Amino acid sequence: MSAPPPLRRLGVSAPLPGDQVALYDPLGVSASAAGGLLIGLEEWTWAQGFDGETGVVELAQRIGLGARGPVQPEAIAALAEHLSREHLLEDARFRSAQERAFEEFRRCERRVALGAGTEYPSDPFDLRVRLGGVVADDWYMPRLAGALAIWAPGGPLPNASGLYGRAWASVRHARDEIDRIVVLGSVGAPLSQLLVPLAKDFETPLGPVAVDRAALAELGVLPGRDQLAHARASVIERQVLLARLLFPTTPVVPLLVGALETDGDPRSDERVEAALAGLDRIVAMEGRTLIVAAADLYHLRAPHAGTEGGPRGTLMAGARGADISGCDRRALDAVDELDAEAFADIALGDGDPGRASQAAATYLLLRHLEGRPEFEAGELRSSILGYLQCPAPQVLFSAGAAVFYREVAW
């Protein structure tokens, strides 16, 4: 029997009841994995050995050494066929489906508004009223003349509207001073590249939002087929809506961020260093750049049975809730202290995919701010603006918000 094709880069959930995990396709090529394809933990262990070189007989022998009983090569071959049909392996089936999806995406003049009419109103007036109300709750936040960046949630806008509003209200006074807005959005799954730019303008009910193509050229990254991740991910779209409301003429630089490797040190990751160098080149351009890191602290998509809300439905209950809350507190401290290394240790330390998959955008922002040579010690400040937990039926997440600024004497 031949070797199964390599397993694709996929998002994976924490273990679920019934000894299962859910697999997610960040490119959206697999229809079954769009909402989470369930697979047994044992089968997932087998699939992680698919490297395109090891035959099923050898795989069965290797797996059998650590299993409770012998594993038949036919069972591994059947799993490979199942994953191939679901477009989760790097094979001809996947490449053909990927090419069709890419051609369809490429024909779209603009990146369509996925959430219009579902996550938020499609009517321009209703949306403006809704978003205006979100930001108005914090309308009187003081002017931060030296605002450089914000950290905002990545999860659904209705569930985290207060944090979205507070993060964006903190920089609204800079409306006439910002020349471009870089949005780093954690996609929640690994990609072949760490940063995946998009050169399409964004369509929104409030009107189109232009992309800063000169800044994309400075970034120096060719997105390739990974652009497909932009077709399905909503994390940047949510920020673009608020940018369109508060910075209506400012172009954006949309950059999806793939998940960091959990088995290595991000400080020795060449992809991280290349991404930071690209960000530095954009910030060095003429004019002022605002960076937005859009990422949750913890994020699990359905199904996530076994985690419930507390008595008021606003906090996560049980052992998992306590663990998430404790890690979140430490992560918030790391963000407040601008400590990228501590943040990475917390996010990647135990390998929990709900936390590790979200860490990249926040980590890149902290590393970028740490490396800004023009600031003297203590001159760069942060302010935590809020925190929430959302144990909603279809998505469970926790998130924070912060603004980063250069202290300027009044």
Nearest partner of 176 among 214, 207, 147, judged by Cα: 147
Pairing of strands 147-152, 289-294: parallel
Give me the mean pLDDT over the 368-373 stretch. Answer: 86
pLDDT tens-digit map of 322-356: 888 899 999 999 999 999 999 999 999 988 899 99
Residue 293, beta-bridge partner list: 151, 184
H helices within 181-268, ranges in order?
213-219, 228-232, 235-246
Calculated CA dihedral for residues 111, 114, 115, 117, nearest 10 degrees: 110
Q: In a 10 Å sphere around its CB, with 0-12 CB exposed, 13-18 middle and 19+ buried, how is residue 109 labelled?
A: exposed
CA 158 to chain centre: 18
pLDDT at residue 121 above 90? yes
Here the tokens at position 71 are 């594993």
Work out the angle between the directed axes of helices 56-66 and 73-85 (0-180°, nearest 10). 110
Q: How far apart are CA 281 and CA 205, in angstroms?
A: 32
Cα distances (Å, whole numbers) of residue 307 to 226, 266, 303, 322, 323? 32, 30, 10, 11, 11
Here the tokens at position 266 are 């991000």
Work out the angle between the directed axes of helices 359-370 and 318-336 (0-180°, nearest 10). 20
Q: How far apart are CA 196 and CA 29, in angstroms?
A: 17
Q: Please provide the DSSP assignment of 373-393 as one string.
A: TTSPTTTEEEEEEEEEEEE-S
Cα distances (Å, whole numbers) of residue 386 to 22, 290, 317, 358? 30, 20, 20, 18
Pairing of strands 252-257, 147-152: unpaired
Q: How far apart are CA 78 and CA 380, in angstroms?
A: 56
Q: Are 387 and 328 in contact (CB under 8 A)?
A: yes
pLDDT at residue 140 above 90? no
**Strands lying side by side in the sheet with 20-24:** 11-12, 20-24, 37-40
Q: How far apart are CA 336 and CA 160, in angstroms?
A: 20
Cα distances (Å, whole numbers) of residue 304 to 207, 255, 269, 349, 354? 36, 28, 31, 21, 11
- Given CA atoms 302, 305, 309, 311 in this order, what sign does their dihedral have? positive
Residues in the chain, how many? 410
pLDDT tens-digit map of 154-207: 999 999 999 999 999 999 989 889 999 999 999 999 999 999 999 999 999 999
Pairing of strands 380-391, 11-12: unpaired
Q: How far apart are CA 266 and CA 344, in angstroms?
A: 8
Q: How many CB atoms lie within 10 A of CB 14?
A: 16
pLDDT at residue 224 above 60? yes
**Domains present along the chain, CATH in parentheses:** 11-106 (no CATH), 110-406 (3.40.830.10)
Tell which wins on pLDDT, 407 or 250: 250
Q: Are 102 and 92 in contact (CB under 8 A)?
A: no
| pLDDT attached to residue 317 | 62
**The model scores a pTM over 0.95:** no
- Collapse the DSSP code of 398 into the 3-class scheme (helix H, G, I; strand E, B; otherwise coil) and give the result: strand
* pLDDT tier at 306, thresholds 50, 70, 90: very low
pLDDT at residue 382 above 80? yes
pLDDT, averaged across the chain: 90
Give me the mean pLDDT over the 381-405 stretch. Answer: 89
Q: How far apart are CA 382 and CA 375, in angstroms?
A: 14
